[in-house]
Amino acid sequence: MIPRILGALLLCLACAAQAGVYTYIDAEGNRVYTDQPPSGRKAQRVELAPGNSVAPPGIRYRPPTAPLEVKPPAYQLLRILFPEPDATLRANSGDVIVTVTSEPALLPGHRYRLLLDGKPAGAPGRSPVFPLKNLDRGTHQVAVEIIDGDGMTVESTPSQPFHLHRVSIAGQPLPEVDTPLVSAVQASER
C-alpha cells in the first residue's frame, strides 16, 4: 500500500513540474496567463527563470540535555540569636557575646565573619560565638556573613542594631589615693 501512495505522489510531482505557463491576448485585448494553452488561439509559452531556492541549513542534532537542576540556596537560615535586634544591653565592662545560627550547619570550607559597625570584627572562623571586648557605649550594628574558602560571601544577615549601656564615671568624685598626682588633682578640684 505504501509503495502505491508513494508512486502516486511522485507522479503528481512530475506532472506539476512539466506544467508550463502560456500567455495570449483575449477578445477584449487583455493579456491572460494560464497553465493550459487555449484551444483555437495562438498562445506563447512563457519561459520562466528558475525559482529562487536556498539550501536549508544543515540540521544539527543536539541530544536532549537534562534540565538544569535549580539548587536551593546552600543555607536556608542564617540568623543572629544574640543580641536580638534593637536590644538594650547593660555591660559596664563593654563585653558582649554575639551568637549566630545557620541551617544547615556550616558547610566544609565555609566560615563565619562578624561585622561590627560595617567592619570585620576579629578573624573569620567556624565558631558561631563571637566575644567582643570593651565596646564603647552607644548603638552598634552587627551582621554576620558566611564566606567560602576564597573569601567570597555566600550568605549574610541584614545589619541589626543593639544599644550598649555602660556606667559613666564623669562627674563622680575621685577615690582618695595617696599618690602625689592624684592628690594634686583632688586638691585642685576642691
Please determine, for residue 179, whether its predicted confidence score (pLDDT) is greater than 70.
Answer: no
Cell for 18? 512539466
Reduce the DSSP state of residue 146 to 3 states and report it: strand
Report pLDDT for 11. Answer: 55
DSSP 122: S
Report pLDDT for 129. Answer: 93
Whose cell is 494560464? That residue is 34
Please determine, for residue 16, whether its predicted confidence score (pLDDT) is greater than 80.
Answer: no
* Average pLDDT over all residues of the chain: 81
Please determine, for residue 15, whether its predicted confidence score (pLDDT) is greater than 80.
Answer: no
Reduce the DSSP state of residue 25 to 3 states and report it: strand
Higher local confidence (pLDDT), 51 or 188: 51
Please determine, for residue 176, whether its predicted confidence score (pLDDT) is greater than 90.
Answer: no
Q: What is the mean pLDDT of residues 80-98?
A: 91
Residue ranges with strand state E in 44-158: 44-46, 77-82, 87-90, 96-103, 111-116, 119-120, 129-132, 138-147, 153-156
Predicted structure pTM score: 0.51
The pLDDT tens digits of the residues spanning 17-44 come to 556 788 888 888 888 888 887 777 788 8
Q: What is the mean pLDDT of residues 49-67?
A: 80
Q: Which domains does the chain have, with CATH numbers?
A: 77-165 (2.60.40.10)
